[in-house]
A and B are shown apart, each in its own frame.
Chain A
Amino acid sequence: MTNTIVVTDRLTKRYGDRLAVSDVSLTVRSGEVYGFLGPNGAGKTTTLRMLLGLVRPTSGTATILGHAPGETGATSRIGALVEGPGFYPYLSGRDNLRVMARYQGVSDRAADEALARVDLADRGGDAFKSYSLGMKQRLGVASALLGEPDLLVLDEPTNGLDPAGMADMRKLVVDLAKQGQTVLLSSHLLAEVQEICDRVGVIAHGRLLAESTVAELRGASTLLVRAHPVDLALSVSMRVAGDDAVQLIDDGVRLELPEERAPELARALVEAGADIHEIRPSERSLEDVFFEMTADHSDHSDPEENR
């Protein structure tokens, strides 16, 4: 329990015939920013709702800081923003936070601090219903920060924000992470996760497809070679890197070969009589990995649209 904040074991939620979440077993460690990555409708929010005790799992278990979801031991140490901010429209931002502070059992001062933390102090007196989407979202984060939780659960915190708002939100998460805050962040934006997360869980159609560090998911760095004739380049590459480590792609050959062996490859290509146009290290983006991973699962429906 010292090192893991969240553990789920084959967490499953079924709505009638539809399996929203199926056998999700994930682990969030202390101090990390965990990215929960998947297309809309993949089951991210349902999983988070189960972790927060809002939704009962059909089967499987979840443990948060050693407690079952919804127990005071868990809820008092989690701050959450799930599927958009939910506040009283007629109250000001500050009063909304004060209401939640009372539920949480912390002082009004903590509410003011949280308001300042998300740059809403000067608009704190305005009614929540007059806020822009970005401000509402920030108030949601402020509410999640009340009581200095051990775990911050943010469900698509950049949803609906303009680019500046998204950048602000990312910076906030990065700042929090720097201070050692554990964050569980769901997103359908790969770039976002790639930028700020230590580890990611990839979910699609309710199933956790992979869970590892961003670096691991992206795999070892590869070398990209463009040379003529392509047949010759391919055979030389296979000789140098091994048959399984070479892949023919649109404009050349991709080798799973460390960068240090690029000169060796170049020599071999030249000796074999190939014309080299380009040799460069290339890293797969998380996006490539993601689409590779979800390709097998996307035959039922298009993962980008749903919900």
Chain B
Amino acid sequence: MSTATMTSAPAARSGSVRSATGPLGGLVASTRAELLRLRKWPAVWVLATVWLLLNLTFAYLFNYIAYATGSSGFSNEGVPPDALLPDLLPAAIPSVLTGGMPMFGGAIMFILGALAAGSGFGWGTWKTVLTQRPRRLPAFGGTLAAVGVAVVGVVAATLVLDVATSTLIAVVEGQSIVWPALGPLAESAAGALLIFGMWAAAGVLVGVLTRSPALAVGLGLVWSLVVENLLRGVGNLLSGIEYVTDVLPGTAAGSLAGALGAGGAGDPDGAPGVLTVLDGGPAALLVAAYLVVFAAVAALLMRHRDVV
């Protein structure tokens, strides 16, 4: 093996050569590192693509086909076809954007978070990362921040896709293009960020707890797709349980989407996972609280646990 590239003498190799940059520097360095490896991870692109296709299909494609063919729309049985068109136009984006997010989109973001945090235990990459320069909290903060950037990217892509699709439909159907007001659009985008952020943080937490992406993904899907729905079903039958089911993460996310109008005007509970249990304000606060708690608990676990 060549020695040519090894240049500096041991005497010059003191730690003072690289000045200490503190936790913030460590966080920035870790975020850059995580962004690089998430960006080059095919799984991340697969998840984002699957979500965008789901969104396109359920928010626009099925309803447009129903409208164009005059048949009953997806989850809109009994709604006359003509009533479907307004939801497919640009003006409806603020209410349509979060429609698929509480349940399906959330599950995909959960998978993203669980893979991003949980895989490192099996691969031994957490071990490698934690022996680099940054301390544990900044190092783990890098993963949280990078997942956050991914979530922002996915929400932005969803928005772009919705704008493009609804504009196309408006043009094809000869409708005048009315853009949504900026206020409701911003509100809706913020709600989308909260919902996706919460589920991604939940994925990160369960990934750290189980130290296994497979177990984390399985548990997360069972929870978000099955357990919460069952509990809410039981809550309708047994009084008392609804005090718990009303504040579950899925209920909060669903209520936030519902408050943003994701359920559609005629049938607020129409889209799967979209609820009207909580009002918009409390739901947003609860989702934000879950996001912070999930991330904080995951960080504390990473900080204190032995990495073997």
Contacts and interface: CB of A to CB of B under 8 A. Distances in A.
Given A73-B20, A91-B40, A117-B5, A148 B134 contact: no
Interface in B99-155: 120, 123-136, 139, 142
B282 interface: no
B306 to A, nearest CB: 4
A118 interface: yes
A89 B32 CA distance: 19
A10 interface: no
B131 A54 contact: yes
B179 interface: no
Interface residues of B, number: 49
Nearest to A46: B308
Given A72-B20, A99-B36, A102-B32, A143 B308 contact: no
Interface stretch (A175-183, A203-211, A214-222, A248-256): A175-183
Nearest to B127: A86
A86 B123 contact: yes
A75 B127 CA distance: 12
A82 interface: yes
A263 to B, nearest CB: 45
Given A103-B132, A175-B3, A73 B15 contact: yes
A58 to B, nearest CB: 11
A54 B308 contact: yes
Given A70-B135, A117-B1, A181-B10, A100 B128 contact: yes
Interface string B1-22: 1110110111101110110110
A103 B308 contact: no
Interface stretch (B23-31, B53-61, B192-200, B214-222): B23-31
A75 B132 contact: yes
A116 interface: yes
B26 A72 contact: yes
B223 interface: no
A245 B34 CA distance: 63
Contacts of A180: 9-11
Contact of B135 (A52, A72, A82, A179): A72
A146 B124 CA distance: 18
Contacts of A113: 5
B91 interface: no
Interface string A94-132: 010011101111100000010011110000000000000
A31 interface: yes
Contact of A105 (B1, B124, B133): B133
Q: Which range holds the interface residue count of chain A?
A: 35 or more
Contacts of B40: 90-91, 95
Interface string A49-79: 1001111100000000100001111011111
B21 to A, nearest CB: 7
A93 interface: no
Contact of B37 (A52, A55, A88): A88
Contact of A117 (B2, B13, B25): B2
B240 interface: no
A85 interface: yes
B33 interface: yes
B193 to A, nearest CB: 26
Contacts of A90: 40-43
B307 interface: yes
A306 B109 CA distance: 42
Contacts of A70: 130, 135-136
Contacts of A175: 1, 3, 6
B26 to A, nearest CB: 7
Contacts of B37: 88, 91, 95, 99
Given A99-B36, A99-B37, A86 B128 contact: yes
Contacts of A172: 1
A176 B6 CA distance: 9
B307 to A, nearest CB: 4
Contacts of A52: 130-131
A49 B136 CA distance: 14
B131 A118 contact: no
B245 to A, nearest CB: 39
A113 B136 CA distance: 27
A156 interface: no
B306 A55 contact: yes
Interface of B: 1-3, 5-6, 8-11, 13-15, 17-18, 20-21, 25-26, 29-30, 32-34, 36-37, 40-43, 120, 123-136, 139, 142, 306-308
Q: Which 3 A-B pairs have the closest CB atoms?
A: A86-B124, A180-B10, A102-B33
11 contacts: A54-B127, A70-B135, A72-B26, A77-B15, A102-B36, A103-B29, A105-B25, A147-B18, A147-B133, A148-B17, A180-B10
Given A72-B20, A103-B30, A117-B1, 5 more contacts: A31-B10, A86-B125, A90-B43, A99-B36, A105-B18
